[in-house]
Chain A
Amino acid sequence: MIQPAIIWQDCLAIFSAVPFTLGTAFAILIASILIGMLIAWVRINNIPVAKQIVHFWIHYIRGIPLIIHLYLAYYALTPLVNGLMALLGSTQTLQVSPLAVLIVAYSLYASIGQSENIRGAYLSVDRQQWDASYSVGFTGLQAMRRVILPQGLVVALPVFCNSYLNIIKGLSLAFTIGVSDILARAKICSAQNFCYLEAYIAAGLVYWVLCGSLGYAFQRMERSLKKW
């Protein structure tokens, strides 16, 4: 039978992993937005060679599950880094930490979705806004910062928030490469007292409360943004 006391105990233990999960997810979100901006820039301006690379990358991400992508990165990144170092003439070898692998691999994985979002937001701003800003003497960068970005951000922000939630959920696969997030903590709890169902119920509850309340907060924010 299910023991509520153990669920509560597991909840408390799992809850200690929440700040780490939120922080990692935020780091991944920021990194993926930065890479996504680069990709969006390539796609909007049709840069010759980079466009083909981005195209290949989009197909790769669409076709490969996150978990396999993480595994590939985990087993390929260390030899790659060491190979690069050897090329540069360094004899020292280093082991890339799982957390670094996770952040790099996941932000590359999420970057495609972000680039799609950024591109959409950029294109949603009317072309005449550019003409208007040039007419008052703004340079390209000024126009971007003062006119286009504020308008595009209102469109893009809700999607960024949504992808933040998706990243938090996706981090549940981090245990496969040895990073201890919410689910990994639940697995540790279940291994200690052999109450598997209780641990997973606790993890489910923590996720539910976390993503549910964040989702609600984001919805409120989106509504208040809509007035512009």
Chain B
Amino acid sequence: MTLDLAYCWKILGRIAPKVPYTLLIVVISGALGLLLAMGVAAIRIKKWKVLYPLTNLYMSFFRSTPAIIHIFLIYYGLPMLFKMAGINIDGWDKTLYCLIALILFNGAYMSEFLRPAYLSVDKGQHDAAESIGMTGFLKFRRVILPQLIPIALPNIENSMVELVKDTSILFVIGLVDIMGKAKMIISNDYGVRKLEVYIVTAALYWLLTYLVSKGFQIAGKRFGITKFLQK
């Protein structure tokens, strides 16, 4: 078994320009997924009437089917749904389908640890905040959230790292991100040096996940944990 290192280097130059694109997908779907997860967690905590059973259904589906199924279903199903409503979305970019699939998937996963994080804040904190006249959103922002973030942060970091790894299956619908580009190179070269291409791809993903978790650690030190401890 011999590895062609010069070829690896050449391939790296061709795949590396796709890193910002993958990062963009991660950032957008991560942020919106977190937002969705907050909404879902709020519904599940407050047990709102019609929405609660709906979130039950949503969570059970997205947690018991693999991400690859979500991507296929969104990619083939969404245009059909829109067509029934009389809207043609065939012109949509593939990125959009991927983002929708990843957001829905992450919304289900992240809400599963946001809810326990919220519930782990002591009941007495709610009472204390109410005793000085804080209600609703003010209470949440000033009292609950600062205590919730340090609890949830490690899990958020983890799921962001997982999100970077999940983007590697988006190539199945033909999206040209890191993995898609690698696939493209392999088929252009008639699959001669597959191992080299995958090693380069692996290195890039490794770098990306390292950057994401490092970023979270720095941000955690800078904003979350230390600030929380100083108070």
Contact = CB atoms under 8 A, between A and B. Distances in A.
B15 interface: no
Interface in B33-70: 60-61, 63-66, 68-69
A212 interface: yes
B94 to A, nearest CB: 15
B165 interface: yes
Nearest to A169: B66
Interface string A54-66: 0000011011111
Contacts of B130: none
Interface range on chain B: under 10, 10 to 19, 20 to 34, or 35 or more? 20 to 34
Nearest to B71: A200
A71 interface: yes
Instruction: Please indicate which of the listed interface residues A65, A165, A215 has the most CB atoms of chain B within 10 Å of its own CB.
Output: A65
B169 A67 contact: yes
A68 B69 contact: no
Contact of A200 (B73, B169, B210, B213): B73
B76 A68 contact: no
Nearest to B69: A204
A62 B198 contact: no
Nearest to A216: B60
Contacts of A83: 1
Interface residues of A, number: 37
A66 B69 contact: no
A67 B164 CA distance: 12
Given A66-B165, A68-B202, A183-B69, A197 B77 contact: yes
A194 B138 CA distance: 54
Interface stretch (A30-38, A44-52, A72-80, A142-150): A72-80
Given A200-B77, A210-B64, 13 more contacts: A62-B161, A63-B209, A65-B165, A65-B166, A65-B168, A68-B205, A75-B195, A83-B1, A169-B65, A183-B66, A197-B73, A207-B66, A208-B64
